Amino acid sequence: MSLTLYYHPLSSYCHKVLIALYEHGVDFEKRIIDLGNAEEKAELQALWPIGKFPVLRDHTAQFDVAESTIIIEYLDHYFAGQTRLIPGNWDTALEVRLWDRICDNYLQTPVQQIVLDRIIGANGNLTPQRSTLQTVYGMLDRQVATSTWLASDEFSLADCAAAPALFYASTLERIPEEQSHLNAYFDRLMNRPSVQRVIDEARPYFSLYPFKQDIPQRFYPLP
């Protein structure tokens, strides 16, 4: 197989790339990396010294691609079939890239900070992070008020970023009921076959998530 994804099934940034791979229908091999295992961490660092996943190894090109957005750009350039996640129109592509960055920087980052605080037991003041999540919810609600997808007429890179970001963010700060456009968009994302597949594959690992009790029952039924 020409592609190997080094990843972890619980990682939101890995979910983002997996969604893109499934959208493209690309065959690839999965290599789960446990960063707590010194040998596996060293294996990842040999490809990407920063030591963060996901990393995509293209065996044919003998090329390693890191960072979720860049991996999706790479896939879209070299492995896209009928599905394109980055529009050919420059203006629309710019909008897609903007919302990709918003989801990564202002949803994913606060989520990671809140989760890390719980893991290490810091009990820090997380009001700024939670406030940022609510601010972005409002931005997203307005953005999808008249559109099916986040930044393009078709499912795009921006939606690949939004799906895992919103999935985890919503376990920390519920999407307000009055933000009906965002709630409807979230449901569309969660019903997308590629997203459903990623959640199904992550489900056996949800027990490791510090806020597992806040994952909606439809995704993770608790006994």
pLDDT in tens, the chain (223 residues): 699 999 999 999 999 999 999 999 999 999 999 999 999 999 999 999 999 999 999 999 999 999 999 999 999 999 997 889 999 999 999 999 999 999 999 999 999 999 999 999 999 999 999 999 999 999 999 999 999 999 999 999 999 999 999 999 999 999 999 999 999 999 999 999 999 999 999 999 999 999 999 999 999 987 6
β-sheet bridge partners, residue 58? 3, 63
Q: 0.85 cut: is pTM over it?
A: yes
β-sheet bridge partners, residue 7? 32
Residues 150, 198: one domain?
A: yes
Q: Nearest 5°: CA angle at 198, between 31 and 213?
A: 110
pLDDT given for residue 83 in this prediction: 81
Helix (H, G, I), strand (E, B) or coil at 48: coil
Closest CA to 53 of 4, 98, 100, 101: 4
Q: How many domains does the chain have?
A: 2
Residue after which a domain boundary falls, among 24, 49, 80: 80
Tell me if 214 is assigned to some domain. no
Tell me if 221 is assigned to some domain. no
Residues 69, 103: one domain?
A: no
The answer to whether the beta carbons of residues 164 and 7 sit under 8 Å apart is no
- The domain spanning residue 188 has which CATH number? 1.20.1050.10
**What DSSP character marks residue 145?**
T
The answer to whether the beta carbons of residues 21 and 68 sit under 8 Å apart is no
Tell me if 211 is assigned to some domain. no
Closest CA to 211 of 160, 169, 154: 169
Continuous H helices in the chain: 12-24, 38-47, 68-78, 90-103, 109-120, 127-143, 157-172, 180-191, 193-202
pLDDT given for residue 223 in this prediction: 66
